[in-house]
Structure 1
Amino acid sequence: MFSQLINKQQWIIEDAGRKSFREGMEKAEVIINLQPSILIRKKRIITRYIKQKIGLEDCLYRPSLRMLKFMFRALYDYETGRNDLDLRLNQYRDKTITLRNSRDTEEYILNVTK
């Protein structure tokens, strides 16, 4: 199913650290690496957990304290480089764009839509 998707003319995928997405990175015209501050990411994890817990946001898993802990462990792995994202992205430097904040994102969207 993944191969069918990336063989289409236009597609967008999200890579949350899955090494199986290597083929997607190879075929992508542009790789956008979102890097908001750690404070924003922590806030988003907690906000998402609360919304899921009270039923304001759907999810494919049970929003438990165990899952919350898993999300913070994934954040730690990202921050320390244990998820190997930098190594995987390094191969595609020429087509990777890193956006760190709203201003970066807005500028990128304006430039792409010109």
Structure 2
Amino acid sequence: MNKKIHIIGSVGSGKTTLAKELSSMLAIPHYELDNVVWLRDKTGDKKRTEEERDSYLESIIQSESWIMEGVHLEEWVSNCFHGAEVIIFLDTNYSIRTYRIIKRFLKQKFRLERSNYKPTLKILYKMFKWNRYFEQVGKDKFFNTYAIHKNKVAVMKDRRSIEKYFNLRAQ
């Protein structure tokens, strides 16, 4: 069983949902890279210094087991990819991600779903922009930058492929 899992994918690909499900199923704590970057507070989020961020991430990576999820591809995340036993690359269909972004925005706007940020039209626009960027640049950037880890990358396109992967791994 994999005890150190990194999940990467675009906005709306299902990273957080999968991380929560795997965390519950495998009894492994999950972390969001956005919460490694940002110190969440009721009075407003505060960006951690690079030193704080790197130290916090390193403390997670050094723990016995973890599930990390996020879209970050920058150098500061490289130790997380290195420490992972498996990297799940969620390659969900672009139109499905777009639908999920809209659905999430509406749920957060009507307070049916919790959010780490204020759901504004500006952030919705940014999510569309990030989704497009990931589709056009981010995928290739990941596979080019982290090609050294290709033997532990599992590309998942849909729910069925995720279930099949973990059922096969459990046997």
TM-score normalised by L of structure 1: 0.93
Equivalent-residue separation in structure 2 for 1:112 and 1:82 (angstroms) = 28
Q: CA deviation at 1:90?
A: 2.1
Runs of 4+ that moved beyond 3 A: none
What CA deviation, in whole Å up to 9, does each residue of 1:23-46 have, x standing for no partner? 100111110001110111011100
For structure 1, which runs of at least 5 residues remain unmatched after alignment?
none
Equivalent-residue separation in structure 2 for 1:87 and 1:61 (angstroms) = 31
Percent identical: 28
- Taking a change above 3 Å as real, the CA distance of residues 29 and 82 of structure 1, as seen in their structure-2 partners, is closer
For structure 2, which runs of at least 5 residues remain unmatched after alignment?
1-55
What CA deviation, in whole Å up to 9, does each residue of 1:3-26 have, x standing for no partner? 111101111101212412111001
Q: What is the RMSD computed on CA atoms of the aligned residues?
A: 1.4
Q: CA deviation at 1:49?
A: 0.3
- Taking a change above 3 Å as real, the CA distance of residues 31 and 82 of structure 1, as seen in their structure-2 partners, is closer
Equivalent-residue separation in structure 2 for 1:95 and 1:18 (angstroms) = 16
The question of 1:95 aligning with 2:95 is answered no
SS at match of 1:13: strand
User: Is contact 2:91–2:156 with CA below 8 Å preserved after alignment?
Assistant: yes
TM-score normalised by L of structure 2: 0.63
- Residue in 1 that maps onto 2:164: 107
- Residue in 2 that maps onto 1:61: 117
With a CA cutoff of 8 Å and minimum separation of 6, indicate the structure with the bigger relative contact order. Answer: 1
Number of residue equivalences: 114
Q: CA deviation at 1:98?
A: 0.3
Q: CA deviation at 1:82?
A: 4.6
SS at match of 1:12: strand
More strand by share: 2
User: Is contact 1:32–1:99 with CA below 8 Å preserved after alignment?
Assistant: yes
